[in-house]
């Protein structure tokens, strides 16, 4: 990929996607110049009046210094702030070059790709939660202090979203369970592992996780009052078609608890057989045949038995993509400044596990 900068010592240009394509962001745009002109019109001194009506006069340098300090303290103390980058993509480099020194880390990518906004998109919600769960299991200590702070800020927003919208609480419960188990192990072996920050901070985070778990446990689903057509009013073949669209066995069981009719449809042997064939190879489920009392194969029990030994296929509405030509990781709808003649041929969807594997050295 050609270096898009002034020289090899420069950090490179900033690019903004517009309707006409990618345009370079000038450091001194007309909008900034207008803002600077407005600031220049202001008097070079500021009068501050206290309660005792004593006036103090400060120079422009003092005001600028105070403003910078307040801004720094704000980002340091405000745990909800996302003080990272506006770009929705990151260049993945694993070694030093003339243009770039060092290498890209998991924590840097986690900060740069704006997962905080991604959880507001229902297509990306499950993807981000699964990524956080994988990080909680094995990669939490590899994150930098800023990335760990960002991790728990995003997790807080996810929990609050679930508590407000009641969206997929089971997925978040699994994430919090894995995270609490990891933190218990790390806190107990504090002298044997690397934890960024004071141990009291981690104990406080663990207590917060336990509080979230209790809140999710006490979560009551809101009953929606609707006098129109409901799920129970649909014909049997349509309900059966809905069940065949699910790729998670727990979703089928949960839906089967709604009405007796759905329970009957959710116990269909053919439904669970299709689910096993979708997620697992024939050689895999041939090794774990579970016959029922009548001598038939119990496909429902087989699905959950195979789930313990083999990973199931993951489905997401939207994922991160990796450009093999530019070595850039990005969200597909935001794009990236690609230099390939046909960018679509270079794109590769990135699963949560693949995202972590990209930054293993």
What's the pLDDT score for residue 101? 55
Q: Which of 25-39, 120-134, 209-223, 323-337 has the highest mean pLDDT?
A: 120-134
Q: Structure tokens of 65? A: 């210094």
Which one has a higher pLDDT value, 278 or 80? Answer: 278
CA 330 to chain centre: 13
Q: Residue 49: CB partners within 8 Å, gap ≥ 6?
A: 55
Tens digit of each residue's pLDDT (9 = 90 or more) over 259-273: 889 999 999 989 998
Does position 99 have pLDDT exceeding 60, yes or no? no
Q: Could you tell me where the DSSP H helices lie in the chain?
A: 30-41, 60-77, 106-112, 115-118, 122-134, 145-165, 169-188, 199-217, 236-244, 249-256, 260-266, 269-279, 282-286, 299-309, 352-357
What's the pLDDT score for residue 31? 45
Over residues 124-146, mean pLDDT: 89
Tens digit of each residue's pLDDT (9 = 90 or more) over 20-67: 777 777 554 444 445 444 444 433 333 333 444 444 444 445 445 555
Cα–Cα–Cα angle for 276, 181, 133, rounded to 5 degrees: 50
Rounded Cα distance, 326 and 92, in Å: 9
Under a CB-based contact definition with an 8 Å cutoff, are residues 320 and 113 in contact?
Answer: yes
CA 143 to chain centre: 14
What's the pLDDT score for residue 200? 84
Q: How far is CA 80 from CA 116, 162, 211, 261, 359, in A?
A: 10, 17, 18, 46, 26
User: Regarding beta strands 320-323 and 347-350, do their DSSP bridges make them parallel or antiparallel, or are they unpaired?
Assistant: antiparallel
Q: What is the DSSP letter of 349?
A: E
Q: Residue 176: CB partners within 8 Å, gap ≥ 6?
A: 159, 209, 212, 213, 216
Does position 132 have pLDDT exceeding 90, yes or no? yes
Cα end-to-end distance, the chain, whole Å:
21
What's the pLDDT score for residue 70? 52
What's the pLDDT score for residue 72? 52
Rounded Cα distance, 4 and 15, in Å: 10
Q: Provide the 10 A C-beta neighbour count for residue 354.
A: 13
Strand pairing partners for 320? Answer: 331, 350
Q: Is 109 exposed, middle or buried (0-12, 13-18, 19+ CB in 10 A)?
A: buried
Rounded Cα distance, 74 and 83, in Å: 10
Which one has a higher pLDDT value, 152 or 198? Answer: 152
Strand pairing partners for 322? Answer: 329, 348
Q: Structure tokens of 202? A: 């981690």
What's the pLDDT score for residue 166? 82
Under a CB-based contact definition with an 8 Å cutoff, are residues 305 and 290 in contact?
Answer: yes
pLDDT band at residue 156 using 50, 70 and 90 as cut-offs: very high
- Main-chain dihedrals φ then ψ at residue 193, nearest 5 degrees: -125, 165
Tens digit of each residue's pLDDT (9 = 90 or more) over 72-90: 554 454 444 444 445 678 8
Under a CB-based contact definition with an 8 Å cutoff, are residues 320 and 358 in contact?
Answer: no
Q: Is 72 exposed, middle or buried (0-12, 13-18, 19+ CB in 10 A)?
A: exposed
What are the sequence ranges of the domains in the chain?
105-218, 248-309, 320-358
Q: Residue 285: CB partners within 8 Å, gap ≥ 6?
A: 276, 277, 302, 306
Tens digit of each residue's pLDDT (9 = 90 or more) over 283-335: 777 776 766 666 678 888 888 888 888 877 777 888 888 888 888 888 888 77
Tokens 């994922």: give the residue. Answer: 319
Rounded Cα distance, 199 and 190, in Å: 8
Q: How far is CA 289 from CA 217, 305, 358, in A?
A: 35, 10, 36
Q: Residue 351: CB partners within 8 Å, gap ≥ 6?
A: 314, 319
The percentage of residues in the chain with a pLDDT greater than 90, rounded to a whole number, is 14
């Amino acid at each position: 990929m050609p270096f898009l900068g002034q020289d090899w010592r420069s950090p490179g240009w900033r690019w903004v996607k517009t309707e006409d394509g990618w345009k370079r962001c000038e450091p001194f745009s007309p909008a900034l110049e207008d803002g600077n002109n407005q600031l220049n019109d202001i008097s070079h001194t500021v009068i501050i009046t206290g309660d005792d009506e004593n006036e103090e006069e400060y120079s422009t340098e003092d005001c600028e210094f105070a403003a910078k300090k307040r801004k720094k303290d704000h980002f340091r103390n405000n745990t909800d702030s996302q003080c990272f980058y506006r770009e929705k993509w990151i260049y993945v480099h694993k070694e030093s070059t003339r243009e770039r020194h060092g290498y890209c880390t998991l924590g840097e990518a986690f900060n740069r790709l704006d997962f905080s906004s991604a959880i507001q998109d229902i297509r990306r919600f499950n993807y981000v939660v699964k990524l956080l769960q994988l990080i909680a299991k094995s990669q939490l200590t590899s994150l930098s202090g800023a990335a760990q702070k960002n991790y728990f800020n995003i997790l807080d927003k996810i929990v609050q979203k679930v508590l407000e919208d009641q969206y997929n609480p089971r997925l978040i419960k699994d994430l919090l369970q894995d995270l609490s188990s990891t933190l218990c192990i790390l806190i107990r072996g504090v002298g044997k592992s690397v934890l960024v920050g004071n141990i009291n901070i981690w104990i406080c985070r663990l207590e917060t996780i336990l509080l979230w778990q209790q809140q999710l446990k006490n979560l009551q689903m809101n009953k929606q009052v609707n006098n129109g057509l409901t799920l129970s009013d649909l014909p049997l073949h349509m309900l059966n078609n809905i069940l065949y669209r699910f790729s998670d066995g727990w979703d089928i069981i949960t839906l089967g608890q709604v009405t007796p009719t759905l329970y009957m449809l959710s116990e269909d042997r053919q439904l669970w057989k299709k689910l096993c064939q979708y997620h697992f190879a024939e050689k895999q489920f041939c090794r774990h045949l579970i016959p029922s009392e009548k001598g038939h194969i119990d496909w429902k029990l087989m699905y959950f038995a195979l789930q313990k030994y083999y990973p199931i296929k993951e489905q997401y509405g939207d994922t991160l993509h990796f450009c093999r030509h530019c070595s850039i990781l990005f969200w597909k709808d935001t794009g990236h400044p690609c230099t390939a003649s046909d960018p679509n041929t270079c794109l590769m969807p990135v699963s949560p596990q693949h995202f972590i594997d990209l930054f293993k050295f």
